Structure 1
Amino acid sequence: MKKLILLSILFQSLFSYSQEFGRKDSLRGYLSPERACYDVSYYHLKISVDPKEKFIKGYSEIHFEAQSDFELLQIDLFDNMKISEIQFEGRAQEYNREFNAVFVNFDRLVKSGEKTFIRVYYAGNPRVAINPPWDGGFSWEKDANGNDWVGVSCQGLGASSWWPNKDHQSDEPDSMLISCQVPPGLQCISNGNMRFHDLRKSTKLYNTYHWFVSYPINNYDVTLNIGDYAHFGDKFISGNDTLDLDYYVLPYNLEKAQEQFEVVKPMLDCFEKYLGPYPFWNDGFALVETPYLGMEHQSAIAYGNKFRLGYLGNTRFTAGLGFDFIIVHESAHEWWGNSITANDISDMWIQETFCTYSEVLFVECTYGYDAMIEYVKNQMTMAQNRRAIVGTPNVHYKGSADMYAKGSAFIHTLRSVVDNDSLWFDLFKSMTNHFKHQTVDGREVLDYINKKSDRNFDKLYEQYLYTPKLPQFEYELCGWGKRKTLKYRWNAIDGFDMPLKVTLENGVFDWIYPESDWKELDLSIWKKDFQIANHLFMIDIKKLQ
């Protein structure tokens, strides 16, 4: 069981835009006593989907262990979804709603350590996705043959937009059963392995697909993919183990998919090298074609890149390299995001920064070191530097989009400062194993890096993650001919003293140690030959004079 970690009520606002928060935000983001009092162990989501009416109905069975004595707990379900009854031990329980929170009043005291469950019956028209997956919900589409094609994406929005649950990232079930009934002629593809496809026409369960997830899963990863799918499979061999690869695509895209998805096995080889074994081995790896671009749904990755290279055919995102960005990025989330999940969405950078850096590792593994450097330089150009990467805790407020490319470039910068690739790759791989199948705070990850490297990078973390601006390297090169004096310093947060590489002689990079006060260093170098290693460090540079 992933342990619940109580978050502090310290609201971080340093260098971020002013933001008004209210009761609704606290109900969504704060691990209140009504949430902390129970630990979810298992969900059974049983749901029927009517694409014609864009309507769903069913129940969510929430199994939990009480962490303290209580008579009141909070679950979550958007207020446009109607609850018909909440049952406990076969009896209907009273409840009241506040915004998207549901407070269940038990008719007896639930004792600490008790293992029990409630069943929440509900129905409604769930939110329609506006710009999925970023502004998500249900995508009710038609394929080219006129068949219904339905998908769900809800990261950020919340799984409580369509099914009742404890919608806080700090609590994941050990396992989950998803039972999805769809109209005849359609399939429902979900997470994990399909246990049973009910085709008994004599019952009300005809065409129900039962999918079982045998690992912890975060709520927003739970998904439904409904359509007329063609399936093909493959095997990934790792030592003496075999990983099932399953692919679900629209029938007319089968040949394109068979070619496009050939990248999966070499990609998994690379990720296993740097991140360790695929973390959901028994549930298998799957790509499912969706009507939206993509999402890291655990063991059922949403794929909507239209079988193109780059990002919908734009290779700017891949620095001109010819690989499918969505497959690589979303698959990396199986390690960072799915296996390792942030306790609070304010630390969403853990998932996106390390996932985006995993793209860098894939490029180095596949195309070599020089191509990796070009890839990171391309990421550096995408930084906006307007708002901090870390968000505000306890109110469901994530940091800026810089958690992607800028965050990755910061991790690359850390690698350069460590300056020991053997240590660095060991650290990175051991970290994914150390936090495997856990929810974590950002500080836990940062402390792990400090401990494994035997360095204190707190000032770097503060500069790059908690403030929007890059450290600025100010310098002046004075003198005649090859007799030069380098004057230099950092313009950054107090105490920032990151070492930096420059050319102290022609073509050879070496370390200098800037601080906030000006320093001087005599060099023997032509002005045209002086370089700053800004391919290794993400910094702002200001040349004086």
Structure 2
Amino acid sequence: MKNILYTSLLLLGLQQVSAQHFTRKDTLQGGLRHERTSFDVQRYDLNIKINPEERTIVGYNDITFKIAEPTSKIQIDLFDNMNVDSIVFNKKKLQYKREHHAVFISLNETMQSGKEGKIRFYYSGKPLVAKNAPWDGGFVFKKDTQGKDWIGVAVQGTGASLWYPVKDTQSDEPDFGSSVKVAVPNGLMNVSNGRFLGSEDLKNGYTRWDWEVKSPINTYDITVNIADYVHMHDNYKGLDLDYYVLRANEEKARKHFEADVKPMMDCFQSKFGTYPFKEDGYKLVETPYLGMEHQSAVAYGNRYLKGYLGMDRSATGIGMTFDYITIHETGHEWFGNSVTAKDIADMWIHESFTTYSESVFVECTLGYDKAIQYIYGQRKNVSNDRPIIGQYGVNHEGSGDMYDKGTQMLNTIRHIVNDDEKWWKLILKYSETYRHKIIDTETVVTFFNNETGMNLTPVFNQYLRYTNIPELEVRQNKKNVEVRWKTDVTNFEMPVEYTINGKTARINTTNNWQKIPNKATLEQVEFNKLKMFYKLSKL
């Protein structure tokens, strides 16, 4: 979740990707070079102290890795406003060179494939403070109603290296989990990902809170949440549900979460498979910003309101029947946290499926017709400003249309398939096939083609790689109405549903003119745009 609030207002002056200028800094952050691909991260063990008054971090990250290709140099990332205090490997300090946010570390030897190692990266500094989290990356330092510190961090897109040293690419997650140990002033609690292991009074005015993640985890999902939290625990059908909320909000939080979380888990697990991080549990953590899909510690800041901060993004009224942040950000546990895009240029793999999960929840609770109505209402948020897929290798996301246009595309494909039993089996198999895996657009398209037995590549390409949506051109030719698709891609094929005199039928339409078999006039033919997302042009 990053661009939701202004997907319909996105920068009217944006240039096309082809005209954009990318720098060495972009390549260092987004690219995959030997210093990154030569090693595979096995585990992160973060141990830090956060001083709220000074807004500083000091500590270290133990990075355990396995060599994939022989190398004597690796790249670890840390924003250049943060200090590298020292880097230790085999009890010796290593030499390093900084270039923008990249830290190139010399290992003092050429390590061979299969060999494992661990560096301890000491660092300190004042991390960037977000101006408007989560839409820009950084820390948020606020006070609760009792005047106590309330701190969070959100870095999706900006980069996890904003606040800790890390191999900052979605192409590599720690294979064997991570630990996060954070010392905060006494009287405050830190909540991070995974399971709580315990706390220790350090006898210096600080208490350290220890957390352990068993599953692979996106680096931007690793988080800290600092406040005077109250902990509420539940277990639902074998899944631990934990809520950490500000002390003043305990009573209303308990009632509010009860309304959505259990029906949501029933729905999502029936459609997408077992919750992907059961061993780490499920948490909602109240944050001083709107929300973020931090794995097993979902950031919640929707003020215990229905809708999106009390508003309905679909303008149908249906969006006011559930808490948008709870549903959307939890949907990311399956799509984004479990099934992960290799490059942020393919972030539609996270956001399109997760936005679609909202309508899945509506369908589970209110039925198919309401779900289709909800999706149709989301069209007003589509700007068609630039392609959904961004530029690869330069840390560049595509259009914010990856949310609402992306869900329109998936709904369109559902109705191309035109077999709901087959569709839900496909979605379930997709989620389970790529559970805890890192994939790309080509992988998704190939999967959908194979499972449906259709060539959906032109459909995916039109919605994802071009600004325009398919345009259905319609004309009168003597006693028949003719139709064709006008698209940027060639060999485009998609059915169209139409009604004549109360009778509904479908015609498989291509880029070539075709006659609707029933004799009729343009005025007699009604085209169903509710189920599929396209532009209608009568010539």
Please tell me whether residue 129 in structure 1 is matched to residue 130 in structure 2: yes
Matches within 5 A, 1:101-250: 101-173=102-174, 174-199=176-201, 201=203, 206-237=206-237, 242-250=238-246
Match of 2:4 in 1: none
Match of 1:301 in 2: 298
What SS is found at the alignment partner of 1:541?
Answer: strand
Q: For the Cα contact (< 8 Å) 1:318–1:325, is it kept in 2?
A: no
Matches within 5 A, 1:379-458: 379-458=378-457
Shift in Å, 1:33: 0.2
Supply the distance in 1 between the matched residues of 2:457 and 2:389 (Cα, whole angstroms).
14
Shift in Å, 1:319: 3.0
Supply the distance in 2 between the matched residues of 1:193 and 1:421 (Cα, whole angstroms).
38
Please tell me whether residue 78 in structure 1 is matched to residue 79 in structure 2: yes
1:445-494 CA distances to partner (integer Å, 9 max, x unpaired)? 11111111111111111111111101100112466xxxx52022111124
Q: For the Cα contact (< 8 Å) 1:16–1:467, is it kept in 2?
A: no
Supply the distance in 2 between the matched residues of 1:230 and 1:122 (Cα, whole angstroms).
31
Shift in Å, 1:254: 1.2
Supply the distance in 2 between the matched residues of 1:155 and 1:234 (Cα, whole angstroms).
29
What SS is found at the alignment partner of 2:333?
Answer: coil
Supply the distance in 1 between the matched residues of 2:380 and 2:240 (Cα, whole angstroms).
38
What SS is found at the alignment partner of 2:120?
Answer: strand
Supply the distance in 2 between the matched residues of 1:86 and 1:155 (Cα, whole angstroms).
26
1:370-421 CA distances to partner (integer Å, 9 max, x unpaired)? 1011011012221111100111111111110010000001000000001111
Match of 2:249 in 1: 253
Shift in Å, 1:109: 2.1
Supply the distance in 2 between the matched residues of 1:42 and 1:255 (Cα, whole angstroms).
38
Supply the distance in 2 between the matched residues of 1:86 and 1:99 (Cα, whole angstroms).
18
Supply the distance in 2 between the matched residues of 1:18 and 1:67 (Cα, whole angstroms).
36
Match of 1:276 in 2: 273
Match of 1:330 in 2: 329
Supply the distance in 2 between the matched residues of 1:536 and 1:260 (Cα, whole angstroms).
32
TM-score (norm 1): 0.93
Supply the distance in 2 between the matched residues of 1:445 and 1:500 (Cα, whole angstroms).
21
Supply the distance in 2 between the matched residues of 1:257 and 1:511 (Cα, whole angstroms).
48
Query: 1:101 and 1:177, CA in 2 relative to 1: closer, same or farther beyond 3 A?
Result: same
Q: For the Cα contact (< 8 Å) 2:500–2:526, is it kept in 1?
A: no
Identify which range, 253-262 or 396-405, moves more after superposition: 253-262
Match of 1:343 in 2: 342
Paired AA for residue 372 in structure 1: A
Paired AA for residue 531 in structure 2: L
What SS is found at the alignment partner of 1:370?
Answer: helix
Q: For the Cα contact (< 8 Å) 1:40–1:65, is it kept in 2?
A: yes
What SS is found at the alignment partner of 1:459?
Answer: helix
What SS is found at the alignment partner of 1:316?
Answer: coil
Shift in Å, 1:122: 0.4
Supply the distance in 2 between the matched residues of 1:126 and 1:71 (Cα, whole angstroms).
30
Q: For the Cα contact (< 8 Å) 1:311–1:317, is it kept in 2?
A: no
Match of 2:367 in 1: 368
- List runs of 5+ in structure 2 lacking aligned partners: 1-14
Please tell me whether residue 520 in structure 1 is matched to residue 515 in structure 2: yes
Shift in Å, 1:499: 2.9
Paired AA for residue 316 in structure 2: A
Supply the distance in 1 between the matched residues of 2:119 and 2:139 (Cα, whole angstroms).
26
- Out of 499, 511, 524, the position equivalent to 2:494 is 499
Paired AA for residue 147 in structure 2: G
Shift in Å, 1:41: 0.3
Shift in Å, 1:112: 1.5
Supply the distance in 1 between the matched residues of 2:215 and 2:316 (Cα, whole angstroms).
35
Supply the distance in 2 between the matched residues of 1:307 and 1:494 (Cα, whole angstroms).
45
What SS is found at the alignment partner of 1:474?
Answer: strand
Q: Size of the alignment, in residue pairs?
A: 521
Supply the distance in 1 between the matched residues of 2:517 and 2:110 (Cα, whole angstroms).
76
Q: For the Cα contact (< 8 Å) 1:15–1:468, is it kept in 2?
A: no
What SS is found at the alignment partner of 2:386?
Answer: coil
Paired AA for residue 516 in structure 1: N
Paired AA for residue 218 in structure 1: N
Paired AA for residue 180 in structure 2: I
Match of 2:29 in 1: 28
Paired AA for residue 98 in structure 2: R
Paired AA for residue 264 in structure 1: V
Shift in Å, 1:428: 0.3
CA RMSD of aligned residues (A): 1.6
Supply the distance in 2 between the matched residues of 1:243 and 1:205 (Cα, whole angstroms).
35
Supply the distance in 1 between the matched residues of 2:52 and 2:503 (Cα, whole angstroms).
64
TM-score (norm 2): 0.94
Structure 1 moving runs of 4+ over 2 Å: 14-17, 316-319, 476-479, 493-509, 513-530
Please tell me whether residue 316 in structure 1 is matched to residue 313 in structure 2: yes
Q: Kindly, what percent of the aligned residue pairs are identical?
A: 43
Please tell me whether residue 539 in structure 1 is matched to residue 534 in structure 2: yes
Paired AA for residue 276 in structure 1: G
Q: For the Cα contact (< 8 Å) 1:503–1:510, is it kept in 2?
A: yes
Q: For the Cα contact (< 8 Å) 2:481–2:520, is it kept in 1?
A: no
What SS is found at the alignment partner of 1:138?
Answer: strand
Match of 2:525 in 1: 530
Match of 1:10 in 2: none
1:289-331 CA distances to partner (integer Å, 9 max, x unpaired)? 0000000000000000001110000023473121100000000
Shift in Å, 1:134: 1.2
Match of 2:261 in 1: 264
